[in-house]
Amino acid sequence: MGKVIFASIGIVLPVVLSYLAAGHLPGTTFPVIALGATAFSLMALNLLLATRAPGLDRLFGGLDQIYFTHKWLGILALVCAFLHQQIKISTDGKEVMQTLSLLAVDVAEVAFPILVVLVLISFFKRLPKVPFEIPYGIWRWSHRLLGVVFAALAFHQFFVKAPFDNNVLLATHLNAMAVIGLASFGWTIGAPLMRRRTYRVAAVTKHPAATIVDLEPVGRGIDVRPGSFAFVSFSAKGLGEPHPFTVSEVRPNGGIQFSIRGLGDFTRRLRDALLVGDTARVEGCYGRFDYRRGGARQVWTAAGIGITPFLAWADSLPDSGSPEICLAYCVRTEAEAVGLERLRRAAERVPGFTFRLHQSETEGRFDAARLAALVPFDITTASFWFCGPAPLREALRKGLKGLGKTPRSIHFERFEFR
């Protein structure tokens, strides 16, 4: 629903209003105006998506869907802006000479190449065929600067004078987009500071496959659901940039746990730099990954550190009345399994909850056939919940389809935020 609404506001509406304003004119006037209005509208809506405002995740079906939409709306906005800048508008000899209008054109000329660089940084976190990843801090600040570029383009759209009588509806729409974009940019800068809660690092456990961090709230904590995730930063040197992590345990006293695998500079640095007593700032929780929407039979499948949401889920299962669930956990060796004892205790405590561990080093490659063999009921009657590498997810989905064992429904979150 969210994608349809945003496509209507960001693409269909500016094109229609541009046609009403300039569709009767010859030459390139209409396409140039339509491309510019579309690019500006998409940028404004993208800034709105970046706010992570309450309710947006429900509209889009999860924060991961918001980020997925945000990424591709940004690319589409860049394409429209590029075409708008390259195609020359038909003036029929009418040149606009007002000072502010000329300044607005100059501002756009400067803002456009900056926009190109910032969007490319956002899109290509890794350079093709080069073992280099753009640091998260640079990526994050490139997003912040996009708001400044939008402010410059808002000045452009407000003061530039087209060589035709402007349509009041188009002007109203673009002014509304300017207000939405600028307000969203301000909200993005200030709101996280108000939404963050303070925690104290209570324990740091260096598991072979992850760094397990236990946090205790200092005052009021966040509202957290099993399987959700939060943005976390720490007071330790080099750990001040907020990063998203799935909550692996929710405690009755408000304490929370994160099981963090060392996949990047931040997470590898965290393993050695984080100490008991350090301060953590937590914002959340986010996500729509919730097994309670899954029906009476469910298959949970985790690979590696993808076990984290299922750990919290298993802890939250009631002693009676829970769905019939089989959790298949794929790791290279048993030593790399996180939360193994917790899962075994849940299997003993909860009737209908079955836990299967697959060790690829001794049992071979994990695929759809092995998954089907592990599950004690017909997968076609169950909902399928997955957390792990995207290539494995797609291989399992296609493999189950090839076996004629397509699940009743498939649920996952991308957990890819740049």
Provide the pLDDT for residue 16: 94
**CA 340 to CA 291: how far, in whole Å?**
20
Q: Any bridge partners for residue 200, and if so which?
A: 216, 279
* Band of pLDDT at residue 128, cut at 50, 70 and 90: low
Residue 5 CB contacts under 8 Å (≥ 6 apart), including other chains: 59
Low-confidence winner among 1-10, 40-49, 123-132 (lowest mean pLDDT) = 123-132
Mean pLDDT of 305-321: 93
Residue 163's pLDDT is: 54
Q: Is the pLDDT assigned to residue 93 strictly greater than 60?
A: no
* Residue of 48, 50, 53, 43 whose CA lies nearest to 67: 50
Neighbouring C-alpha atoms within 13 Å toward the C-beta of 270: 32
Q: Is the pLDDT of residue 328 over 90?
A: yes
Helical packing angle, 29-49 and 13-22, nearest 10°: 150
SS3 content of the chain, % helix, strand, coil (to 5): 50, 20, 30
- Residues in the chain, total: 418
Please indicate whether residue 76 or residue 89 has the higher confidence score (pLDDT): 76
Please tell me the least confidently modeled range out of 104-113, 165-174, 364-373: 104-113
Say how far apart CA 332 and CA 130 lie, in whole Å: 27
Evaluate if residue 171 carries a pLDDT over 50.
yes
Mean pLDDT of the chain: 86
- Asked if 36 and 97 touch (Cβ cutoff 8 Å), the reply is no
Name which of 235-239, 256-260, 288-292 the model is least confident about.
288-292
Please state the pTM of the whole predicted model: 0.76
- Among 154-163, 184-193, 225-234, 274-283, the range scoring the smallest mean pLDDT is 154-163
Confidence of residue 217 (pLDDT cuts 50, 70, 90): very high
How many distinct helices (H) and strands (E) make up the chain? 14, 11
